[in-house]
A and B are shown apart, each in its own frame.
Chain A
Amino acid sequence: MKLLAKVSFLGFITLLSVIYTVPTFFPNCAKHPIFKYFNAQPTPLGLDLKGGASVLLEVDLESANKSYLQRLAQSTRQFLRAEKVSAKFIQIQGNSLLIGSEKSFADSVQKALGRGIHITYDEQQSCFVATPSGAIFEEQQSMLVEQSIGIVGRRIDESGTKEANILRQGFNRFLVQVPGLADTTHLLSLIGRTAQLNFHLFASKSSAFGSLKIPDANQKNTMYSLQPLPDVAGDMLVDAQPSFDDNGQPAVSFRLNAIGARKFGEVTKKNIGKPFAIVLDKKVISAPVIQSAITGGSGIISGHFTTAEARQLAILLRSGALPADLKILEESTVGPDLGSDSITLGKNATLVSIAILFIFVWVVYGALFGTVANASLALNLSLLISVMSILEATLTLPGIAGIALTLGMAVDANVLIYERIKEELALGNTLQKSLKAGFKRAIATIVDSNVTTLLGAFFLYQFGSGPVRGFAISLSLGIILSMFTAITLTRIMLQIALRNKSC
């Protein structure tokens, strides 16, 4: 009865592990009802095996504080004007705002700035010094990062790429992972471009604000002198689609929201016959002459695009401009053919290593003990793949190396047990007694020696990124499972194999 229970336990574990292992090697099997019932899925593959791109991006925070202060200056100016408080100047100095006004207006200035901003009065310059708290800057920066992540996500969605994964890392970094993509260059240019669209009138000579010098997008030597503030900004855009202009050239048509449409109408009405520059990321892509007032809020941008460029620009404009610059800190791109090559090589290496290990173990331990050791080894491999599949642990190329290495080390548990049994036998004990004592003494050693190796694997995981982590995961799981196999399954197998034997 006791034996029956042990055999059933062993059989149960073996069956389960086989069910969860098969789909990894034969992905088509996962559709079969048996595997569906157990929800047995293939072990997910890392980007280095199935091909894809992984990009670590950093949001440039230096510009965040400045753009926040600029917006604060603008809102303060508007508020004070509405309150009829005179302010001679409002300017940015470091992380503070200087507001040139009389001391008696302190209440209004504080109101204009809102809460959380400390103001003092500088008698010498006769102005208020408003300093937002560190918490405000931090909140602004955090918002900027979230906005950037949102926009990058929208751009990837809009481009029709599925299964993209975006993870925020640390304060101002995020990782974009896109599996199975052949053309990463395209994806990266989609992610990294600011795509700030603005419409500027040309600067007139009498302009009070000076002018903005901006180069042509196609001819580097051509410079335009534009009004410094955009007359219509790209954030009023609600839709953009690739289309063709009157000459049949690829172009992008756009639609503005109600406010944008009204403003666009006003500007075009007042400036008929004058050129209107379309500026994308600080470059003039075209400067058509306004023929008539455009009041419908929609228009077309043309400027020597290819069809692909027009399509990309439409996606970028639709998803919105990035609020800050993005830097590529780290990139790892693997083509799908390299990935499948790696899988084949990894599989081969693992199979060769198993085959030689089997022969080695048989040579060393003979038919009976060798078979038990090899059965535990096979079961160990199967369990490792099952657990990785159940936990959805990603299998990477170094992970395959980890599995093969684990197999070599898994033999160790059997070796330790057998050596101890041998010693017990050599002391003149009976086989059954040696078996029991050998196991008891070996287990302490197995646990001690493996815990130290696990520590190494743990710090490998902590240190590593992506592929290295895959190595650490398969190694740790392999070590834990080899302990489990040795302590329970190998023991049961030996008890069954040796139940009627004596020394």
Chain B
Amino acid sequence: MLGLSRLFPKFTINFISLRKTSYAISLVMITCSLTFALFTNFNYGIDFKGGTLVELRFSEPVDIATVRAKVGQLSKGASLQNFGQHNDILAKLSDVFENSSERQIFMDKIIQDLPGNPSIRRVESIGPKVSAEAVLNAGFATLMALLFMLLYVWVRFEWHYGLCAIIALVHDSVCVFGLYSIFGMELNFTSIVAILITIGYSINDTVVIYDRLRDHAHLDIPLKKMINTAINDSLSRTLLTSLSTMISLFALFFFGGPIISTYSLPILVGVVVGTYSSIFIAAPLLFSFNAQIYRPIKPDVTNLPKELEV
């Protein structure tokens, strides 16, 4: 058939009977995420707590401990790490220089006092006022995105489709969020980007499955079979798309340099979680939901058109 052969076999997995297992897995993930979020402190980046980030390049290799001690004298609570190449150091300061002459004095001192002839490659500084606004804006943007996705799915499908999709999206957001608390990764603007991309990606997968479901909605077949068929029929597409997106993200992670890498890792995790939730949460949830609310869907097997086989 002109090369349009199947990479994957025709899937016949019964996702609906697996739903209790998948709900349990998700519950464990969400509980872990929330527990860690509640009982450990987030590693807030300067975007959210204010502070200054200085990336330095030294013309010769320097001992990071020496640099740490010197910078510590200039600014209390500074944390330093190697960044990218071995003679690049990223210093995170809790100080914010609102006054330009204070800033000048500090930067001059950094260049004069540190060994290894440093040059300042990058300075990012965010004052407490702006970072407080950023936290609000980030939360607001995520909530608005969720709300409008709910409305869109509601309008294009039905309200319970929207609700299930949103539950899956909240699940995704919590899991990606949990990643930050469990692994102590720095929470900053990039994290919000990752969460928004994750839910954008996850809803994409979910909508593709729901679309299938709508195609068959007029047929008189049991809901369980209908949902299973929808997931299985679109599974090779879901996997192919996830793979191609992950290829791009891996390329970014390995070849994009330190700044781009920090963007791609959480999105990568988000794509995996998003794909999982579309298949194992969003679609089966629709079954659990409908089984409760629209209980009288009668399985009338005798009059089934034969084109749908699970």
Given A332-B123, A415-B244, 15 extra CB contacts under 8 A: A56-B130, A189-B101, A337-B121, A349-B251, A360-B243, A360-B247, A363-B7, A364-B7, A368-B2, A397-B259, A400-B260, A401-B263, A404-B248, A405-B249, A418-B4
Rounded to whole Å, the gap between the CB of A442 and the closest CB of chain B is 10
Listed in ascending order, the chain A residues whose CB lies under 8 Å from chain B are 56, 58, 184-185, 188-189, 191-193, 326-335, 337-338, 341-342, 345-346, 348-350, 352-353, 356-357, 360-361, 363-370, 397-398, 400-401, 404-405, 407-409, 411-412, 415-416, 418-419, 421-423, 425, 427, 431, 441, 444-445, 448-453, 455-460, 462-464, 468, 471, 475, 498, 501, 503
- B201 CB within 8 Å of chain A: yes
Rounded to whole Å, the gap between the CB of B148 and the closest CB of chain A is 5
Say yes or no: A335-B121 contact (C-beta < 8 A), given A397-B259, A419-B237, A422-B6. Answer: yes
Say yes or no: A345-B2 contact (C-beta < 8 A), given A453-B201, A462-B141. Answer: no
Q: Could you tell me the distance between the alpha carbons of A456 and B104 in the complex, rounded to whole angstroms?
A: 40
Q: Could you tell me the distance between the alpha carbons of A367 and B1 in the complex, rounded to whole angstroms?
A: 12
- B66 CB within 8 Å of chain A: no
Cβ contacts A to B, 10 pairs, < 8 Å: A193-B100, A328-B127, A330-B126, A337-B57, A356-B247, A404-B251, A408-B246, A415-B244, A459-B145, A471-B193
A-B contacts counted at CB < 8 A amount to 254
- B203 and A398 contact, CB distance less than 8 A: no
Q: Could you tell me the distance between the alpha carbons of A412 and B244 in the complex, rounded to whole angstroms?
A: 8
- B120 and A335 contact, CB distance less than 8 A: yes
- A332 and B251 contact, CB distance less than 8 A: no
- Tell me if A's interface is mostly helix, strand, loop or mixed: helix
The answer, among B137, B208, B255, B259, for a CB contact under 8 Å with A416, is: B208
Q: Could you tell me the distance between the alpha carbons of A412 and B119 in the complex, rounded to whole angstroms?
A: 44
Interface size range on B against A: 35 or more
Given the complex, which residues of B lie within 8 Å of A348, measured CB to CB? 255-256
The 7 closest A-B CB pairs, nearest first, are A366-B3, A192-B100, A456-B200, A463-B141, A408-B248, A353-B251, A345-B257
Q: Could you tell me the distance between the alpha carbons of A335 and B124 in the complex, rounded to whole angstroms?
A: 12
Q: Could you tell me the distance between the alpha carbons of A449 and B192 in the complex, rounded to whole angstroms?
A: 21
Rounded to whole Å, the gap between the CB of A297 and the closest CB of chain B is 30
Binds A, one of B67-75, B149-157, B220-228: B149-157
Given the complex, which residues of B lie within 8 Å of A342, measured CB to CB? 257, 259-260
- A370 and B1 contact, CB distance less than 8 A: no
The answer, among B3, B7, B189, B251, for a CB contact under 8 Å with A367, is: B3
Say yes or no: A405-B245 contact (C-beta < 8 A), given A189-B101, A335-B119, A468-B189. Answer: yes
- B234 CB within 8 Å of chain A: yes
Q: Which of B2, B7, B254 has the most CB atoms of chain A within a 10 A radius of its CB? A: B2
- A422 and B193 contact, CB distance less than 8 A: no
Given the complex, which residues of A lie within 8 Å of B117, measured CB to CB? none
Q: Could you tell me the distance between the alpha carbons of A498 and B2 in the complex, rounded to whole angstroms?
A: 10
- B138 CB within 8 Å of chain A: yes
Q: Could you tell me the distance between the alpha carbons of A346 and B260 in the complex, rounded to whole angstroms?
A: 8
CB interface residues, B 168-224, toward A, < 8 Å: 189, 192-193, 196-197, 199-201, 203-205, 207-208, 211, 215
- B43 CB within 8 Å of chain A: no
Q: Could you tell me the distance between the alpha carbons of A314 and B222 in the complex, rounded to whole angstroms?
A: 84
Q: Could you tell me the distance between the alpha carbons of A457 and B149 in the complex, rounded to whole angstroms?
A: 12
Given the complex, which residues of A lie within 8 Å of B7, measured CB to CB? 363-364
The answer, among B2, B126, B203, B233, for a CB contact under 8 Å with A423, is: B233
Q: Could you tell me the distance between the alpha carbons of A314 and B125 in the complex, rounded to whole angstroms?
A: 29
Say yes or no: A397-B138 contact (C-beta < 8 A), given A335-B120, A453-B204. Answer: no
Q: Which of A361, A441, A464, A498 has the most CB atoms of chain B within a 10 A radius of its CB? A: A464
